[in-house]
Amino acid sequence: MSATVNETLIRDVVAEVLGRLGGVSATAPVTTPATAPPAASPACGCPAGKATSSAKAASRGKFGVFADANEACEAAHEAYQQLSDAGVAGRRKVVELIKEICYAKAEEWGRLELAETKIGRLDHKIEKLQGQRGIPGVEFLNPYGLSGDHGITLEEYAPFGVIGAITPSTHSIPTMACNIISMVSAGNAAVFNAHPGAYQCAVTAARYFNQAIRHELGIENLACIVEPPTLESFNAIAKNELVKLLCVTGGPGVVQAAMASGKRAICAGPGNPPVLVDGTSCLDNAAKCIVFGAAYDNNLLCIGEKEVFVLEPHFDKLMAALEKHGAYRLNSSQIETLAKAAFVFPPGQGAGCPHPVVNRDLIGKDPEVLAKAAGVTIPRGTQLLIGETTADHIFVEEEQMMPFLPIVRVKSVAEGVVASKKAEHGYKHSAMIHSHDVSNMTAMGKALETTLFIKNGSCLAGLGAGGEGYSNFSIATTTGEGICNPRTFTRVRRCVMVDKLRIF
Ligand code: NAD
C-alpha cells in the first residue's frame, strides 16, 4: 500500500472527505471502492498536469459521484466540452480504458454486484463485464459521403451532449459500462441514475472509471452518477435542460416515465421471449441452446428464453433432451406450489395493478432456491427448472426472470406462433425458433416483429455470443433503435460543399 500512496492521492482522499462532509447530504450512504482506483501520480506526468476542469466542478462531486442530480448534469456538461477538445483520440482512449478496467475488475466487480443485488450468478456476472471488450467503439461511426456533379456532401454522426441514463438491477455495472462506451464513442457525456437496489456497485465502478479518465485525459466527471438514486433524481435528470437525450433500460414503469418526460428517449424495455420448437431441426441442439440461454445469470436477461412452445409429437423428446442438458423437471403440483411462491397477487388483485406482482425474493435466484419453494430437492449442478404448463399459465404470461421455464405443447406451428405472439405481449423484444423450415421461420418472424429473432441458437447468439454481431446490454425495443451502439447516441449532421471539392 505504501508504495502507491503519494501526495496527489492523499490530496484526493482529503478532498473527498471534505466533499462528503460539506457538499454531500449526511443521509447519503457512504460507499467504499472495493479497491483503490488508480492513484493520480505526478510521476507519470499526466494527472496533476492534465486535470484541467474547473475547481467549481471538483468541489461539487468527486470522481463523478454526486448527491445532487442537477450538479451532476452541470459537471457532465463541462466534461462533454472537454471531451470535445480531446477529439476522437480522446474518445478512443476513454473507450479503451473502460474496456480494460471492466476486464481487469470483472471478478471483483461481479462479486460486488452479486453481493449487493443478490440476484444472478457470479460466473455470468464476470462474463458480462469481460464481454465489454466486444462493445463497438469509435470505429462504428463512419460518416456517409456523397459525391456528384454538384459537389460533395458529408453526413456526420455528431454528439447530443449530456445523456441521462437509467440502468436496471439485473446488470447494473455492465449496462452502465456499455452505455459509457457507446455514448462516449459518439462524443457524449452521461449522468446515470442506477436502480436503488444496485447502485452501490455502480457508484464504485463510476468512481473508478472517472478517476482513470481524469488520470489519463484530465477530464473530470465524464460519466456522472447520482448517489443515492431516487425518483426525484430521475425527474431532475429528465427535466434538466442540459440533458438532451434519455436512455432508459428497464421494465414498463421506467419506459412509461421516460416517454412521459417530454424529452427524447431511447427505451430499452421489457421482454418475455418465446421459443418455438417445430421438430424439423436437431432437438438436442435446441435443448442445449434453451438451457444455456434460460439459465444464463439465472434468467435475468431480458432476451432470455422465458417460455417454450413445442409441437406435440416432439414434446417428450425435447423434455428428455432438456433434462440431459442440466434441466430438472417439476411435476404439475410442484409447478403450482412454485407459482404461489413466485407471484404475490393473482392477476387483477394486486393493489390497483393489472399484473401479478412477481416475488422479488425469487427473481434471479439459483434453481435450488426455486426448487425449495416448489417443495423439492434437486441434484447439485442443476441449471434450470422446467415443467409442462398450459399456454395461459402465469409463468408463460409474466416475465418472471427466474430459472423456471414453462414448456407448452402445441398442435401446429400456426398455434405456436399465435401463442408466442400472445406471450410476447407486443413488446417486440426477442424471440427464438428451432427449425430448419424456412416457411416456419418466416411465419414467426413476420408475426412477432421482434427486435431480435434468433434461429437455431440461444438467446445470447443475438448479442454475438455464438452468433455474428456486436453486443450491448441496452436493446432499444420500445423506441426501435435496436441493439444500442455509438450511432444510437448521435445526431446526423449534413455538411454540403456546392459544385467543388470533387477530385475528378
Ligand atoms: P425496473 O423497471 O424495476 O428498473 C429499471 C430502472 O428504472 C431502475 O433504475 C429503476 O430505478 C428505474 N425505474 C423504475 N420505475 C421507474 C419510474 N416509474 N420512474 C423512474 N425510474 C424508474 O427493472 P429491473 O428489475 O431493474 O430490470 C428488469 C427489467 O428491465 C425487465 O423488464 C427487463 O426485461 C428489462 N430490461 C430490458 C433491457 C433491454 O435492453 N431492453 C435490458 C435489461 C433489462
Which ligand 1 atom sits closest to the C-alpha of 252? Answer: 2
* Ligand 1 pocket residue status of 302, Cβ below 6 Å: yes
Give residue 250 CA to ligand 1 midpoint distance, Å.
2
Q: Which of 136-150, 205-219, 333-347 has the lowest mean pLDDT?
A: 333-347
Superfamily (CATH) of domain 274-470:
Aldehyde Dehydrogenase; Chain A, domain 2 (3.40.309.10)
Name the percent of the chain lying above pLDDT 90: 85
What pLDDT is attached to residue 344?
84
User: What is the per-residue burial (b if ≥16 Cβ within 10 Å, else e) of 129-159?
Assistant: bbbbeebbbbebbeeeeeeeeeebbeeebeb
Give residue 193 CA to ligand 1 midpoint distance, Å.
11
Among 194, 369, 372, 367, residue whose Cα is nearest residue 296: 367
What pLDDT is attached to residue 54?
46
The mean per-residue pLDDT over the stretch 106-113 comes to 98
The mean per-residue pLDDT over the stretch 157-184 comes to 98
The answer to whether residue 130 scores a pLDDT higher than 60 is yes
What pLDDT is attached to residue 138?
98
Element at 164 (helix H, strand E)? strand 162-166
Q: Which of 288-292, 323-327, 343-347 has the lowest mean pLDDT?
A: 343-347
Question: Which residue has its alpha carbon closest to ligand 1 atom 10?
Answer: 195
Give residue 168 CA to ligand 1 midpoint distance, Å.
5
> Which residues make Cβ contacts (< 8 Å) with residue 134, sequence separation at least 6?
464, 470, 471
Whole-angstrom Cα distance, residue 480 to residue 297? 26
Whole-angstrom Cα distance, residue 394 to residue 401? 13
Give per-residue pLDDT as tens, 356-410: 889 999 999 999 999 999 999 999 999 999 999 999 999 999 999 999 999 999 9
Max Cα-Cα span within the chain: 78
Q: Residue 228: is the preceding peptide bond cis (ω within 30°)?
A: yes
Whole-angstrom Cα distance, residue 414 to residue 442? 12
More reliable by pLDDT, 289 or 21: 289
Give residue 248 CA to ligand 1 midpoint distance, Å.
8
What pLDDT is attached to residue 59?
44
The answer to whether residue 497 scores a pLDDT higher than 70 is yes
The answer to whether residue 36 scores a pLDDT higher than 50 is no
Which ligand 1 atom sits closest to the C-alpha of 250? Answer: 30
Q: Are 58 and 66 in contact (CB under 8 A)?
A: no
Give the three cell numbers for residue 466: 455464438
What pLDDT is attached to residue 61?
75
How much is the mean pLDDT over the chain?
Answer: 90
Q: Give the Å distances, CA to CA, from 54 to 21, 106, 120, 218.
A: 20, 32, 41, 11
Q: Are 408 and 395 in contact (CB under 8 A)?
A: no
Q: Are 245 and 239 in contact (CB under 8 A)?
A: no
Q: Are 91 and 187 in contact (CB under 8 A)?
A: yes
Angle at 195 between CA 193 and CA 199, to 5 degrees: 80
DSSP 431-465: EEEE-S-HHHHHHHHHHH--SEEEESS-GGGGGTS
Model confidence at 46, pLDDT cuts 50, 70, 90, reads very low
* Ligand 1 pocket residue status of 249, Cβ below 6 Å: yes
Name the percent of the chain lying above pLDDT 70: 86
Give the three cell numbers for residue 275: 421459443
* Ligand 1 pocket residue status of 167, Cβ below 6 Å: yes
CA-CA-CA-CA torsion sign (221, 227, 232, 235): positive
* Ligand 1 pocket residue status of 480, Cβ below 6 Å: no
Whole-angstrom Cα distance, residue 440 to residue 443? 5
* Ligand 1 pocket residue status of 270, Cβ below 6 Å: yes
Element at 266 (helix H, strand E)? strand 265-268
* Ligand 1 pocket residue status of 400, Cβ below 6 Å: no
Which ligand 1 atom sits closest to the C-alpha of 399? Answer: 32
Pocket perturbation via mutation, ligand 1, pick of 302, 365, 399, 428 by most ligand atoms within 8 A of CB: 302
Question: Which residue has its alpha carbon closest to ligand 1 atom 11?
Answer: 195
What pLDDT is attached to residue 347?
58
Sheet holding 327-329, edge to edge: 327-329, 384-388, 404-410, 307-311, 274-277, 430-434, 452-455
Q: At what angle do helices 106-117 and 172-185 cross, to 10 degrees?
A: 130
Whole-angstrom Cα distance, residue 353 to residue 297? 28
* Ligand 1 pocket residue status of 403, Cβ below 6 Å: no
Neighbours of 348 (CB within 10 A): 9
Whole-angstrom Cα distance, residue 221 to residue 223? 5
Q: Do domains 7-269+485-491 and 274-470 have the same CATH topology?
A: no
* Ligand 1 pocket residue status of 253, Cβ below 6 Å: yes
Give residue 267 CA to ligand 1 midpoint distance, Å.
10
Give per-residue pLDDT as tens, 47-81: 333 444 444 444 467 899 999 999 999 999 999 99
The class that CATH gives domain 7-269+485-491 is: alpha beta
Sheet holding 151-159, edge to edge: 144-148, 151-159, 490-498
Question: Which residue has its alpha carbon closest to ligand 1 atom 13?
Answer: 254
Model confidence at 27, pLDDT cuts 50, 70, 90, reads very low
Whole-angstrom Cα distance, residue 504 to residue 501? 9
Whole-angstrom Cα distance, residue 196 to residue 205? 15
Q: Which of 60-74, 92-106, 171-185 has the lowest mean pLDDT?
A: 60-74
* Ligand 1 pocket residue status of 315, Cβ below 6 Å: no
* Ligand 1 pocket residue status of 298, Cβ below 6 Å: no
* Exposed / middle / buried, residue 472 (Cβ in 10 Å: 0-12, 13-18, 19+): buried
Q: Which of 33-47, 142-156, 218-232, 245-259 has the lowest mean pLDDT?
A: 33-47
Model confidence at 348, pLDDT cuts 50, 70, 90, reads low
Give residue 268 CA to ligand 1 midpoint distance, Å.
9
β-bridge partners, 486: none
Question: Which residue has its alpha carbon closest to ligand 1 atom 9?
Answer: 195
* Ligand 1 pocket residue status of 168, Cβ below 6 Å: yes
Give residue 252 CA to ligand 1 midpoint distance, Å.
7
203 Rama sector, left if φ>0, alpha if ψ -120 to 50, beta otherwise: alpha
* Ligand 1 pocket residue status of 475, Cβ below 6 Å: yes
Whole-angstrom Cα distance, residue 286 to residue 335? 23
Pocket perturbation via mutation, ligand 1, pick of 118, 169, 225, 460 by most ligand atoms within 8 A of CB: 169
* Ligand 1 pocket residue status of 314, Cβ below 6 Å: no
Secondary structure of residue 146 in the 3-state scheme? strand
Sequence ranges of the domains in the chain? 7-269+485-491, 274-470
Which ligand 1 atom sits closest to the C-alpha of 272? Answer: 34
Model confidence at 353, pLDDT cuts 50, 70, 90, reads low
* Ligand 1 pocket residue status of 273, Cβ below 6 Å: no
Give residue 255 CA to ligand 1 midpoint distance, Å.
8
Question: Which residue has its alpha carbon closest to ligand 1 atom 21?
Answer: 254
Give the three cell numbers for residue 320: 428428455
Which ligand 1 atom sits closest to the C-alpha of 267? Answer: 41
The mean per-residue pLDDT over the stretch 471-495 comes to 97
